[in-house]
């Protein structure tokens, strides 16, 4: 298999909170712990998990908005930590972000046309007519008419603003777009339109997506693979179809059970996920899910489960459902990605 577009190796981010009176007592938020995954060109990897599990921190680490405590991020095999100014700028062109709340990320004083052409203008000065035709082209790509280029963000609907945020991300023809809760603030029908738009853009332009969401039900149709996170760690990473057909990790199972079921013929699993997410400042010992897990055994309190590759191409970290005795002689990478063919996502209706 070809070199992945993006490779994340053992990424860890701890935030120290304040200075504390004694050095030893400085509390640390373990936002991301030892996370590894990769993304192929043109692929959609979804990252899901409850609020506070570290999803946005991963997005910020990938964009180099924050620096990792340890671990590496490689783009086409190059570690982004070592990039100097010019290379960093070139790499920034290739990775763009779409945010949850387009309103706060769009300059309210600029017109839609100015907002979406600004990224290109920053790299190469455009003439007035180039700017106009680029704006019309980008608006067309996200299903908006060219007349919209004269509108201010306040004169657009929530869905149109999110389309605008996507158009701005497309302006520099990125290889990868990170969408962090990009549809979470939208009505369900508008969510479906935006998800369909993202899938169409992927097919037309071959863009890879990292789609971050707390809501498993929105990732079911758009993801090729899904990484499920719990308190900073990936607990299951699987081809999307396999994950929804048969979740293996008890937490994945509970999330799927809790998600609304758009397809009434699908049998709903009856595994409740009870209790609050524990604090990442003082996470539970061993498997961090053990206080909420109906299957927990003694070992779960004592040892952090490793990600173990399963026969169908997924990796799972669970002492009961994926015992470490399954680990082959070769140490596993954090994911085993070449086994399952990537299923084509289906459009929302």
Ligand X SMILES: Nc1ncnc2c1ncn2[C@@H]1O[C@H](COP(=O)(O)OP(=O)(O)O)[C@@H](O)[C@H]1O
Least distance from ligand X to the Cβ atom of residue 280, Å: 5
Least distance from Mg ion to the Cβ atom of residue 55, Å: 5
Q: What are phi and psi of 25, to 5 degrees?
A: -95, 10
Contact 66, 57 (CB under 8 A): yes
Nearer to ligand X, 135 or 229 (CB): 229
Nearer to ligand SF4, 165 or 309 (CB): 309
120 exposure class (CB count in 10 Å sphere: 0-12, 13-18, 19+): buried
Determine the size of the site formed for ligand X (CB under 6 A): 13
Q: Which of 25, 29, 18 is nearest to 52 (CA)?
A: 29
Nearer to ligand X, 173 or 279 (CB): 279
Give the single-character DSSP code of 314.
-
> What's the CA gap between 310 and 330, in Å, rounded?
14
Nearer to ligand SF4, 289 or 348 (CB): 289
Task: Tell me: does residue 176 bind ligand X (CB under 6 A).
Answer: no
Q: Which residues contact ligand SF4 by CB under 6 A? A: 249-250, 287, 289-290, 293, 295-296, 300, 305, 318-321
Q: Is the dihedral of CA 199, 203, 205, 206 positive or negative?
A: positive
Q: Which parts of 254-283 interact with ligand X (CB under 6 A)?
A: 280
Query: Mask of contacts with ligand X, 23-62, x by CB under 6 A?
Result: ------x-x-----------------x-xxxxxxx-----
Task: Tell me: does residue 38 bind Mg ion (CB under 5 A).
Answer: no
Per the rule left: phi > 0, alpha: psi between -120 and 50, beta: everything else, 33 is: beta
320 binds, among ligand X, Mg ion, ligand SF4, none (CB under 5 to 8 A by kind): ligand SF4
> What's the CA gap between 12 and 280, in Å, rounded?
13
Least distance from ligand X to the Cβ atom of residue 332, Å: 25
Least distance from ligand X to the Cβ atom of residue 69, Å: 12
> What's the CA gap between 294 and 179, in Å, rounded?
33
Q: Which parts of 42-81 interact with Mg ion (CB under 5 A)?
A: 56
In order, the DSSP letters of 94-125 are HEEEE-S-HHHHS-TTS-HHHHHHHHHHHHSP
Please give the residue ranges that form the binding site for ligand X (CB under 6 A).
15, 17, 29, 31, 49, 51-57, 280
């Amino acid at each position: 298999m070809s070199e992945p577009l993006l490779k994340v190796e053992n990424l860890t981010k701890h935030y120290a909170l304040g200075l504390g009176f004694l050095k030893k007592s400085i509390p640390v938020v373990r936002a991301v712990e030892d996370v590894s995954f990769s993304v192929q060109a043109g692929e959609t990897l979804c990252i899901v998990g409850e609020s506070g599990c570290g999803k946005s921190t991963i997005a910020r680490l990938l964009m180099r908005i924050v620096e990792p405590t340890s671990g590496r991020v490689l783009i086409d095999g190059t570690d982004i930590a070592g990039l100097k100014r010019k290379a960093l700028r070139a790499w920034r062109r290739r990775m763009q972000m779409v945010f949850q709340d387009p309103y706060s990320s769009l300059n309210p004083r600029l017109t839609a046309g100015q907002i979406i052409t600004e990224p290109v203008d920053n790299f190469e000065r455009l003439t007035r007519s180039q700017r106009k035709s680029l704006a019309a082209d980008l608006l067309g790509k996200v299903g908006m008419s060219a007349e919209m280029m004269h509108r201010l963000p306040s004169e657009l609907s929530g869905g149109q603003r999110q389309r605008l945020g996507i158009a701005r991300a497309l302006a520099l023809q990125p290889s990868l777009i990170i969408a962090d809760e990009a549809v979470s603030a939208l009505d369900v029908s508008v969510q479906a339109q935006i998800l369909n738009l993202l899938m169409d853009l992927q097919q037309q332009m071959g863009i890879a997506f990292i789609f971050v969401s707390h809501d498993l039900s929105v990732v079911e149709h758009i993801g090729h693979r899904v990484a499920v996170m719990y308190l900073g760690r990936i607990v299951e990473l699987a081809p999307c179809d396999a994950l929804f057909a048969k979740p293996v990790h008890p937490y994945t199972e509970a999330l799927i059970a809790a998600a609304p079921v758009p397809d009434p013929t699908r049998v709903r699993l009856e595994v409740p996920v009870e209790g609050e997410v524990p604090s990442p400042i003082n996470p539970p010992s061993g498997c961090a899910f053990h206080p909420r897990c109906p299957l927990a055994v003694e070992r779960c309190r004592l040892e952090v489960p490793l990600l173990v590759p399963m026969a169908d191409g997924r990796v799972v970290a669970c002492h009961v459902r994926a015992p470490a005795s399954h680990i082959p002689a070769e140490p596993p990478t954090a994911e085993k990605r070449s086994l399952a063919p990537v299923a084509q996502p289906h459009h929302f209706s």
